[in-house]
Amino acid sequence: MTVTLADVAARARVSPATVSRVLNGNYPVAATTRERVLRAVDELDYVLNGPASALAAATSDLVGILVNDIADPFFGIMAGAIQSEITGPGGRAGGERLGVVCNTGGSPERELTYLTLLQRQRAAAVVLTGGAVESPEHLTAVSAKLRRLSEAGTRVVLCGRPPAPDTDAIALTFDNRGGGQQLTEHLIGLGHRRMGYIAGPEERTTTRHRLEGHRAALAAAGIEDDPALTVHGPYDRRSGYESALELLRREPGLTAVVAANDTVALGACAALRESGLRIPEDVSVAGFDDLPFSIDAVPALTTVRLPLAEAGARAGRIATGREEAPPGGIATAHGELMVRGSTGAPRG
């Protein structure tokens, strides 16, 4: 049975005219109403009919770039590198694309909404950056959207994100497990045995993979993983600051802190200093990603360098058809341990 615009209107509890306005984007509509309409479109798998459906099967010069937080250098670096490749080498004329950065704020619902909007805009390509939300329902919904995009002729690339099973999406992943293990092995090699871990949000694949690497290193060294020494929070400075204080409260004898990323690590460093502790003489601190400010921190931050710009540039080339997809549609980039002044042997 064919789904009509009236069916979508009934499901969204709005008028058919409002549905039309949302889909055509030619009239202001409240954000909550727009999301309700788009959700109904997805639930009913509504597609345009007649000449409009033929138009929807074509693609535009639009490239959508989805990020969790454009203010976070992790995403900004990748988005900038993707954008730089959209017009071709050196920005040559003739291959121009309009790159649109879609900031989800980490919201699974906004991620789905942007994918729907990009499908409606007949995007030539969509690049999703960063870790995925591990909710089974969300993963199923995202996979369904990616399949629809591919079927409509949109090229889909995942950058720094695990593969999406049962889709045609190309995945350029980071070895977060290996990097996490390498970082903790470095601290164990220095003599640390009582380490706190400030993890990211529990529902993110990046969080789980980095934490699995940390725990693998502990297990290989015969060190018990104390759940009380792992604290979860957002990937931001405030989380690092507050979590470091919480770890000190739980374990005053802490000798090292491993942070989910470099921004979290800086917050942890601030909390440790305000608590009268020296870095690394009293407590070592390590981050992840090797963001530009890491080397300028005092002391410079030990971290794992991920090839963010290189991965973003490659994603941009694949998205615009200027580079072939990797064999099997998946390529994994490994991190590099950068040992700097923020880690040292534990106090005697």
pLDDT in tens, 29-52: 787 887 788 888 877 777 654 344
Q: What is the mean pLDDT of residues 204-227?
A: 97
Q: Of 165, 92, 156, 97, which is closest to residue 129 (Cα–Cα)?
A: 156
The amino acid at 326: P
pLDDT of residue 37: 83
Q: End-to-end CA distance of the chain, in Å?
A: 75
The reported pLDDT for the residue numbered 259 is 98
Instruction: Output the pLDDT for position 89.
Output: 52
Q: Does 139 or 55 have the greater pLDDT score? A: 139
Task: Compute and round to an integer the Cα radius of gyration of the chain.
Answer: 23
Q: Which two tokens stand for residue 56?
A: 């929807």
Which is more confidently placed, 88 or 285?
A: 285
Cα 187 to Cα 261: distance, rounded to the nearest angstrom: 16
Q: In whole angstroms, what is the distance from residue 276 CA to residue 7 CA?
A: 64
Instruction: State the average pLDDT over residues 175-193.
Output: 98
- The strand ranges marked E within the chain are 62-67, 98-103, 125-129, 155-159, 170-174, 195-199, 230-232, 256-259, 284-286, 303-305, 330-333, 336-338
Q: What is the mean pLDDT of residues 165-191?
A: 97
Residue 169: strand, helix, or coil: coil
State the pLDDT at residue 16. 83
Q: Whole-model pTM?
A: 0.84
* Helix or strand run (H / E) with residue 245: helix 237-250
Give the model's pLDDT for residue 1.
62
**Distance of alpha carbon 130 from alpha carbon 98, whole angstroms:** 21
Indicate if the pLDDT at residue 241 is higher than 70. yes
From 102-106, 152-156, 243-247, 344-348, the region with the lowest mean pLDDT: 344-348
**Is residue 56 over pLDDT 60?**
no
C-alpha–C-alpha distance, residues 262 and 264, integer Å: 5
**pLDDT of 54 over the 50 cut:** no
Instruction: State the chain's maximal CA–CA distance in angstroms.
Output: 77
The pLDDT, as a whole number, for residue 90 is 46
By CB neighbour count within 10 A (0-12 exposed, 13-18 middle, 19+ buried), where does 92 fall?
exposed
Q: Are strands 303-305 and 336-338 parallel, antiparallel or unpaired?
A: antiparallel
- Give 27 or 174, the one with higher predicted confidence: 174
Whole-number pLDDT of residue 53: 45
Q: Where in the chain is the domain with CATH 3.40.50.2300?
A: 5-174, 176-306
Residue 2: burial class (beta carbons within 10 Å; 0-12, 13-18, 19+): exposed
pLDDT (0 to 100) of residue 8:
84
Residue 59 pLDDT level (bands cut at 50, 70, 90):
low
Residue 280: cis peptide before it, omega within 30 degrees of 0: yes
Query: What percent of the chain has a predicted confidence (pLDDT) above 70?
Result: 92
CATH classification (class only), 5-174: alpha beta
The average pLDDT across 342-347 equals: 95
pLDDT band of residue 348 (cuts 50, 70, 90) is low
Q: What tens digit of pLDDT does each residue of 104-138 get?
A: 999 999 999 999 989 888 999 999 999 999 999 99
Phi, psi of 156 (to 5 degrees): -115, 130
Q: Give the position of tokens 């499908």.
A: 119
pLDDT of residue 18: 85
Q: Which residue has the higher pLDDT, 13 or 26?
A: 13
283/27: higher pLDDT: 283
Positive/negative CA dihedral, 9, 13, 15, 19: negative
Is 280's pLDDT higher than 90? Answer: yes
The CATH code of the domain at 176-306 is: 3.40.50.2300
Mean pLDDT of the chain: 90
Residue 182 has pLDDT above 70, yes or no: yes
